[in-house]
Amino acid sequence: MNESFKKKILCIGAGYVGGPTMAMIAHKCPQYKVTVVDINPDRINEWNSENLPIYEPGLYEIVKSSRGKNLFFHTDVKKGIQESDIIFVSVNTPTKTFGVGAGMAADLQYWEKTARQILECSQSPKIIVEKSTLPVKTALAMERILSSADSGIHFEVLSNPEFLAEGTAVKDLENPDRVLIGSSLTESGLKARDELVEIYENWVPRKQIITSNIWSSELSKLVANAFLAQRISSINAISDLCEKTDADVSEVANAIGMDSRIGDRFLKASVGFGGSCFKKDILNLVYLCRNYGLTEVADYWESVVRINEYQKKRFVLNMLKAMFNTLADKKICLLGFAFKADTGDTRETPALYIANKLLEENAKLVISDPKALKNAKKDLKEAKGDISYVEDPYQAAKGCHAIAILTEWALYTELDYRKIYDSMEKPAFLFDGRNIVSHQEIYEIGFNVYPIGKPALKHF
Ligand code: UDX
Ligand code: ADP
């Protein structure tokens, strides 16, 4: 193996963030050796196979171009730590489910274990880069753990939050709006920061690599996600009003989005936001505010999550009401289970909430998704009721009373809805939780159509 690499980079945690980010660094920087380790051997085996553990457009191509050359996936965390100069930490930091802060604070157990393992295995100084989204001041805690043993080894902790979105990870990593690096402002902190800047400079223009103090960096990640989620909750709140007033939320979004101060992105009303970040990060922010006694600030941000819960609930209630207040024994086809298009990820997907609520009404579910059925089956493993999983949307909709579009997969805009209508029970209903199909055309086929934030089109 070529050991003359200029730098040896390790990433601990081969998930949605660690895997693609390291693949991009390896792809752009053949002069560096990039190793990704994970405690989960199945995940590592998948990263070493043709079936990567996550679906991301373009990811397989960049993994394949570097794997075995300067990109390696394995489970030997200890060896990985010993060999590296720079360690990215991207282990999971879910919301705590127990004890103080349960349901709000971040669960830092995986993260702290990693810090201790770095300390235990290191034989030389290292730069540690926080990639996982973490509460503000976590870097400080990590620094304390790392300097707790009197090993004489210096560790410099940097914060470098990842802003990629799933489904567009490769594009986002290749052309990021910005790369943010937080460091302490000491001489060694600034030196470490410059080393990380140098890595990104291989493909990101210098003016887009911004630096800050470490706490601003940690907080910026939480705030970016909170602002994005807030836009969705804002437009979703307006969608409810539109349904009551016969206004059209797309027209409203278009009109306000043309104001350059508001901007037109992230204004799509939907069945609610999902994904592993938004809810978790807002709750994290809320917990932080409460911790500092900022009750009003905490309540303000918490309302973003409350509106999101309300949007999901309201979607199911609308279905129930439209279908004559009973769903018992009715077959309902869910088109899409992933939390957004172009990913197989179902973490916090609105589809799970909706599926469970429909099952409570004794509806029979047929779930369809081009990439997320494996995860859907896992998510609904404990659920009681009649559920089937059918990838082909035509087969899935056959004999159903209603279709609910829950993920904005492009393929659902191109289906032959006449063919689907002919195969369904009548009256046939379509609930468009993503506003992606042509409602007038679908209505003219014969469907009763219920979009988000627009008047329903009904035949009765
Ligand atoms: C988000 C942030 O965008 C990203 O910067 C951060 O690093 C991680 O969290 P992600 O959760 O992967 O990324 O996807 P995103 O595109 O932000 O979508 C999140 C949710 O919001 C999805 O459920 C999506 O369907 C929904 N959404 C998005 C809307 O309902 N309407 C919109 O206009 C945009
Ligand atoms: P994210 O979306 O933040 O990338 P994921 O859950 O997809 O989160 O990935 C986190 C990964 O970190 C998982 O594959 C998990 O097995 C791994 N992991 C957790 N703790 C450790 C650890 N101590 N050492 C190595 N890997 C770990």
At residue 137, the pLDDT reads 78
Which residue's C-alpha comes closest to atom 9 of ligand 1?
277
Report how far residue 435's alpha carbon sits from residue 419's, in angstroms, rounded to the nearest whole number.
20
At residue 213, the pLDDT reads 95
Report how far residue 415's alpha carbon sits from residue 424's, in angstroms, rounded to the nearest whole number.
14
Task: Please give the tally of structural domains in the chain.
Answer: 2
**At which residue do the structure tokens 């999901």 appear?**
312
For the chain, list residues with pLDDT below 70: 1-3
> Given 175, 204, 233, which residue is the final one in a domain?
204
> Given 168, 185, 204, which residue is the final one in a domain?
204
Which residue's C-alpha comes closest to atom 11 of ligand 1?
275
Report how far residue 306's alpha carbon sits from residue 272's, in angstroms, rounded to the nearest whole number.
11
Which residue's C-alpha comes closest to atom 2 of ligand 1?
165
29 is catalytic: no
> Given 186, 204, 222, which residue is the final one in a domain?
204
At residue 97, the pLDDT reads 86
Q: Which atom from ligand 2 is nearest to the alpha carbon of 114? A: 23
**Inside any domain, residue 360:** yes
At residue 135, the pLDDT reads 75
- Please provide the DSSP assignment of 15-83 as one string: STTHHHHHHHHHHH-TTEEEEEE-S-HHHHHHHTSSS-SS--TTHHHHHHHHBTTTEEEES-HHHHHHH
Q: Assess whether 199 and 223 both reside in one domain.
A: no
Distance (angstroms) between ligand 2 centre and the Cα of 12 equals 7
Can you read off the two tokens belonging to residue 134? 């973490």
**Inside any domain, residue 269:** yes
Q: What is the CATH number of the domain that holds 285?
A: 3.40.50.720
Q: Assess whether 317 and 370 both reside in one domain.
A: yes
Selecting among 11, 29, 242, 277, the annotated active-site residue is: 277
Q: Assess whether 348 and 235 both reside in one domain.
A: yes
Q: Which atom from ligand 1 is nearest to the alpha carbon of 268? A: 33
Pocket of ligand 1 (CB under 6 A): 162-166, 225, 228, 232, 266-268, 270, 273-275, 277-278, 339-340
Can you read off the two tokens belonging to residue 234? 């804002």
At residue 150, the pLDDT reads 75
Q: Assess whether 198 and 224 both reside in one domain.
A: no
Q: Assess whether 320 and 383 both reside in one domain.
A: yes
Q: Assess whether 370 and 445 both reside in one domain.
A: yes
**Inside any domain, residue 209:** no
Which residue's C-alpha comes closest to atom 6 of ligand 1?
163
Distance (angstroms) between ligand 2 centre and the Cα of 13 equals 4
Q: Assess whether 264 and 355 both reside in one domain.
A: yes
**Inside any domain, residue 74:** yes
Structural domain boundaries, residue 375: 214-460
**At which residue do the structure tokens 């999902």 appear?**
274
At residue 3, the pLDDT reads 67
Q: Assess whether 120 and 85 both reside in one domain.
A: yes
Q: Assess whether 146 and 248 both reside in one domain.
A: no
Q: Which atom from ligand 1 is nearest to the alpha carbon of 167? A: 12
At residue 145, the pLDDT reads 86
Q: Assess whether 306 and 391 both reside in one domain.
A: yes
